[in-house]
């Protein structure tokens, strides 16, 4: 028995088989009228046979029952014995064989064809006693029609199986995708939680430590202001210097956690001027160079490029202990290449964190590549190459920074 998907989602070719079946039953109904002209008995018998065949056909099409397909084939074969209904019943027999191939399989349909042809040949010999050649001629046409029906039914079965498999795998794929999306959300939330915890630790160990030193220095100065004013004022100067370091660290985190907004529709080096200026406020020397086209970047590329520069400069501030960063922007009609290079401690820069992993995935989704690593003469380099059209220029990727 077939699955619900097979019953309620028939292929287009199944509709063709239903149309042929409707034609066959219409011809069979006409043959019943002819049979009644020969006598009530033959008419009633043929009417009963066509009725039973109709019920079996409905059972086959709705439930795909094998026994109903075999029964329909047998009833159609019996109907061919009536002189008035025989020619029309052969069409119904072809339909029955096709349904047998569709429901049970091509092998069963071919076996039924062999039995039907042998039965017709023996009936012909027993009734009319023709010669061997005449018997072959009279049964060859019926055999050819039945083989076409069997082949058509077998083809329908193969198509239905393939469609059912595709539907099943499609549902499995959708379920898997849903699980992956849920897992990705969970993983991102977990990584974000880790990043927040790490940021909190760095703020506590960095900014919190400096503020604690400021408080201790001021308390010491307060105690020493009467006994040793010189030491007291020296400690106040130390507190002021420590406080300035705390302010610098706070500005760094402000740039990292709340970078400047993306400028929509801006292309070329101008897209990064606001970002560079914001990070220069932390004491970092950021130089932006531009080569190539000044055309505006597509919205998705422009947004990604902005996030790329923000993330790269943030990592330099937080990890590289650098004083200078160059942002090299190279744009052609085919692609854009952006390289960030600093003069800091390249070996101390950590491997991909959540930010860089996210950028790498987004670059791949845009058809580009993102690479990072230590530069030979010192420092760290982060490079992204994004296509602007299908015909990108590979040579552009390899140009020196």
Say whether pLDDT at 8 is over 50. Answer: no
- Between CA 59 and CA 70, with CA 139 as vertex, the angle to 5 degrees is 20
Question: Confidence band (pLDDT; 50, 70, 90) for 222?
Answer: confident
Q: DSSP assignment of 187-216, as one string?
A: HHHHHHHHHHHHHHHHHIIIIIHHHHHHHH
Which pLDDT band, with edges at 50, 70 and 90, does 199 fall under?
A: low
Contacts of 207 (CB under 8 A, 6+ apart): 246, 249, 250, 253
pLDDT of residue 370: 92
Q: How confident is the model at residue 183 (pLDDT cuts 50, 70, 90)?
A: confident
369-374 and 380-387: which strand pairing? antiparallel
Lowest mean pLDDT among 80-84, 260-264, 366-370: 260-264
Average pLDDT over the chain reads: 75
| 292-314: average pLDDT | 82
Residue 326 has pLDDT above 80, yes or no: yes
What pLDDT shows up at residue 9?
43
How large is the average pLDDT for residues 325-349? 82
CA distance 282 to 277: 9
**pLDDT for position 396:** 40
Instruction: Kindly report the pTM of this predicted structure.
Output: 0.42
* Rounded (10°) CA dihedral 33, 37, 38, 40: 80
Mean pLDDT, residues 211-240 taken together: 82
Name 341's bridge partners.
Answer: 326, 381
pLDDT in tens, 127-162: 776 677 777 777 788 888 888 888 888 888 888 888
pLDDT at residue number 349: 45
What pLDDT score was predicted for residue 193? 64
**17 contacts 99 by C-beta, under 8 angstroms:** yes
The owner of tokens 């020196």 is 400
Closest CA to 106 of 71, 144, 148: 148
Token readout for 342 is: 């600093």
Question: Does residue 38 contact residue 84 with C-beta atoms inside 8 Å?
Answer: yes
Q: What pLDDT score does 387 carry?
A: 92
Residue 17 CB contacts under 8 Å (≥ 6 apart), including other chains: 95, 98, 99, 102, 152, 153, 156
CB atoms within 10 A of CB 24: 23
Confidence (pLDDT) at 212: 79
Residue, of 38 and 115, whose pLDDT is higher: 115
CA dihedral angle for residue 359, residue 364, residue 366, residue 371, rounded to 10 degrees: 60
pLDDT tens figures, 44-72: 877 787 788 788 888 887 777 888 888 88
Q: Which two tokens stand for residue 127?
A: 């009734």
Residue 270 confidence class, pLDDT cut points 50, 70, 90: low
Residue 2 has pLDDT above 50, yes or no: no
pLDDT at 401 (0 to 100)? 38
Q: Which two tokens stand for residue 330?
A: 């190279």
Q: How many other C-beta atoms lie within 10 A of the C-beta of residue 77?
A: 21
pLDDT of residue 339: 92
- Look at residue 85 in the predicted model and tell me its pLDDT: 55
| Least confident stretch, 90-104, 187-201, 361-375 | 187-201
As a whole-number percent, the residues of the chain with pLDDT over 70 amount to 74
- In three-state secondary structure terms, 372 is strand
Mean pLDDT, residues 16-39: 74
pLDDT at position 390 is: 53
């Amino acid at each position: 028995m077939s699955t619900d998907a097979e019953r309620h989602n028939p292929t287009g070719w199944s509709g063709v088989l239903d149309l042929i079946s409707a034609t066959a039953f219409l011809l069979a109904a006409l043959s019943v009228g002819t049979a009644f002209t020969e006598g009530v008995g033959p008419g009633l018998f043929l009417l009963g046979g066509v009725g039973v065949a109709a019920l079996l056909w409905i059972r086959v099409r709705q439930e795909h029952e094998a026994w109903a397909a075999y029964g329909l084939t047998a009833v159609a074969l019996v109907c061919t014995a009536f002189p008035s209904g025989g020619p029309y019943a052969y069409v119904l027999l072809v339909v029955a064989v096709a349904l047998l191939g569709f429901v049970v399989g091509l092998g069963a349909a071919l076996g039924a064809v062999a039995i039907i042809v042998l039965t017709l040949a023996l009936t012909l010999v027993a009734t009319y006693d023709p010669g061997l050649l005449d018997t072959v001629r009279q049964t060859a046409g019926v055999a050819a029609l039945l083989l076409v029906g069997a082949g058509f039914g077998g083809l329908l079965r193969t198509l239905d199986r393939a469609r059912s498999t595709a539907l099943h795998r499609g549902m499995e794929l959708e379920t898997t995708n849903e699980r992956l999306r849920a897992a990705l959300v969970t993983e991102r939330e977990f990584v974000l939680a880790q990043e927040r915890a790490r940021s909190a630790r760095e703020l506590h160990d960095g900014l919190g430590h400096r503020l604690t030193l400021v408080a201790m220095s001021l308390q010491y100065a307060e105690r020493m202001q009467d006994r040793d004013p010189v030491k007291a004022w020296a400690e106040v100067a130390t507190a002021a210097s420590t406080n300035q370091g705390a302010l610098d660290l706070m500005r760094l985190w402000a740039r990292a956690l709340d970078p400047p907004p993306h400028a929509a529709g801006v292309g070329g080096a101008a897209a990064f001027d606001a970002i560079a200026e914001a990070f220069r406020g932390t004491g970092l020397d950021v130089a932006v160079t531009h080569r190539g086209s000044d055309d505006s970047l597509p919205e998705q590329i422009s947004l990604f490029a902005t996030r790329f520069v923000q993330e790269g400069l943030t990592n330099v501030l937080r990890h590289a202990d650098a004083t200078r960063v160059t942002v090299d922007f190279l744009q052609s009609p085919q692609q854009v290449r952006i390289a960030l290079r600093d003069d800091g401690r390249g070996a101390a820069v950590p491997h991909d964190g959540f930010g860089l992993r996210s950028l790498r995935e987004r670059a791949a989704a845009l058809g580009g590549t993102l690479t990072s690593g230590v530069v030979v003469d010192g420092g760290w380099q982060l490079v992204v190459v994004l296509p602007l059209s299908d015909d990108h220029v590979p040579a552009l990727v390899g140009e020196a920074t």
